[in-house]
Structure 1
Amino acid sequence: MATEREVKPARPRLDRATVADTALRLLGEVGLEGLTLRAIAKELDVKAPALYWHFKDKRALLDEMATEMLRRMTAELDAALSPSRDWREALEVAMRGLRDHLLRYRDGAKVYSGTHFTDMSYAAPMEAHLRSLVAGGFTAAGAARAWFTAYSYTIGYVIEEQSMGPLPGSDGEVYDLEARAARLADYPLTAEAGPEMFRDQDSGFEAGLTAVLAGIATTLPPPAKQRR
């Protein structure tokens, strides 16, 4: 008796969203350097040229990946961006949320930084941030500088944090601080700085963010007499 032909499962429809989602998943396994269009095509069980219908090169793909990261982050943070928050609290919530989201992806901050968003997903959340700052007494230019300063601090911190490791899901420290201190025996302050820089990244981020916001509050709003 003839057996029925085995039916292969249908491949998912190949579009920009599918490619970007697959790339974000694969990023966790291979990192940014190992993420190639060829590797993504293999994961999708297609030939590499099929991806060029959607992305002309890796840079274009990274732009779409960053945009998808922003979409996901915005969906989670919308509820946190309450109009009733003052500008400091709003920036704290936004920057903590940005860091938390970038840390979910291996090399997430490197993927996200310096990209060009592929749609207008960034506009509404950015408008909300700037509106909060203007309501707190900043000029439009001061609000833009305040937001970009906090944003740049957060991106830079996470790039360093992820570069130092350990990789997500792994245990242990990348830096042997005792060995580092021994090498720097003639430079005691530099040696002592190790634990502050390479341990307890959560506390380190919060301390830096507090310093950044204090600087913003001191230097960027117009003088009180100009606001009357």
Structure 2
Amino acid sequence: MATTRLDRVRVARAALDLLNETGLDGLTLRAIAKELDVKAPALYWHFKDKQALLDEMATEMLRRMAADLALEGGPDAGWESVLTSTMRTMRHHLLRYRDGAKVYSGTRFTDASYAAPLEARLRHLTSAGFSPDAAARAWLTAYSYTIGHVIEEQAMGPRPDEGGGGFDLAARAERLKGYPLAAAAGDELFRSDDQGFEAGLAAVVAGIAATLRGGPGV
């Protein structure tokens, strides 16, 4: 049996390591206990259920992310570049874990690790002419796009440009030959996650600039 003191952070770190082997559906308290060389009931002293564990795992992911977020931009950097870089960093970290975006989304952080990075980003946006409400909406819009994109790309698996075997764009086009626009869209929709993410993020940031920054009532 393990002799190192068991705590919430240690359990969450072990769960994140195991996540890459099992995926979210296969991640159980029993499997984590085995990884830690303890009995499963020992984990219930720290987590009442799996959702409580996911909350701690997401918080640990954010702690690891925060160091990189703190390095991005400076007072003179444009808000567009800072927001774009922040979302790239978030995506990079979520992709480090199998089903990382599913674990991260919809959870409640267990400490205030998120506060300093969020405060810095909101302050940068308000300094660039956003009202506090508009800055919050801008952040949430870009954040939601990033989380949603990563959930989709992790669920869909490797793309054709990554050697994925699940995407036959020619066969898809043949099935949809009666729907020429839908058939042609396959190359844009399924060819590259990296290119798709960048294109979508650019559109989101442009939309934020057009609708939220410095307009009436924002």
For this structure pair, what is the TM-score category when the shorter chain's length is used for normalisation? over 0.9
One-letter identity of the residue aligned with 2:21: E
Residue 23 of structure 2: aligned partner:
31
Unaligned stretches of 5+ residues in structure 2:
none
Corresponding position: 1:41 with 2:33: yes
Q: How far does the alpha carbon of each residue in 1:16-38 deviate from its partner, in whole angstroms, 9 at most, with x for none?
A: 11110010000000100000111
Query: CA RMSD of the aligned region, Å?
Result: 1.9
Residues 77-107 of structure 1 show CA distances to partners (whole Å, capped at 9, x for unaligned) of 2111422212111101100000111011000
- TM-score by length of structure 1 reads 0.89
> What is residue 3 of structure 1 aligned with on the other side?
none
Poorly superposed stretches of 4+, deviation over 4 Å: none
Q: Which residue of 1 aligns with 2:83?
A: 91
What is the distance in 2 between the residues matched to 1:174 and 1:64? 33
Aligned-partner SS, 1:216: helix
* Residue in structure 1 matching 2:121, options 112, 122, 129: 129
- Cα distance in 1, alignment partners of residues 13 and 109 from structure 2: 16
Q: Identity of counterpart residues, as a percentage?
A: 67
Q: Point out where structure 1 has 5 or more consecutive residues left out of the alignment.
A: 1-7
**Residue by residue, what CA displacement relative to the aligned partner does 1:137-171 show, whole Å, maximum 9, x if unpaired?**
0100000001100000000011101111139xx95
Write out aligned runs for 1:1-228 (5 A): 11-166=3-158, 171-223=163-215
Displacement of 1:15 in angstroms is: 1.1
Distance 2:214 2:10 in 1: 47
Which shows bigger deviation, 73-82 or 211-220? 73-82
**Of 36-45 and 107-116, the range deviating more from structure 2:** 36-45
> Could you state the TM-score of these two structures normalised by the residue count of structure 2?
0.93
User: What SS class does the counterpart of residue 97 from structure 1 fall into?
Assistant: helix
Paired AA for residue 13 in structure 1: R
Would you say the 8 A contact 1:130–1:140 is kept in 2? Answer: yes
Specify whether residues 173 and 83 from structure 1 end up closer, same or farther in structure 2 by C-alpha distance, changes over 3 A only: farther
Once structures 1 and 2 are overlaid, which stretch shifts more, 189-198 or 141-150? Answer: 189-198
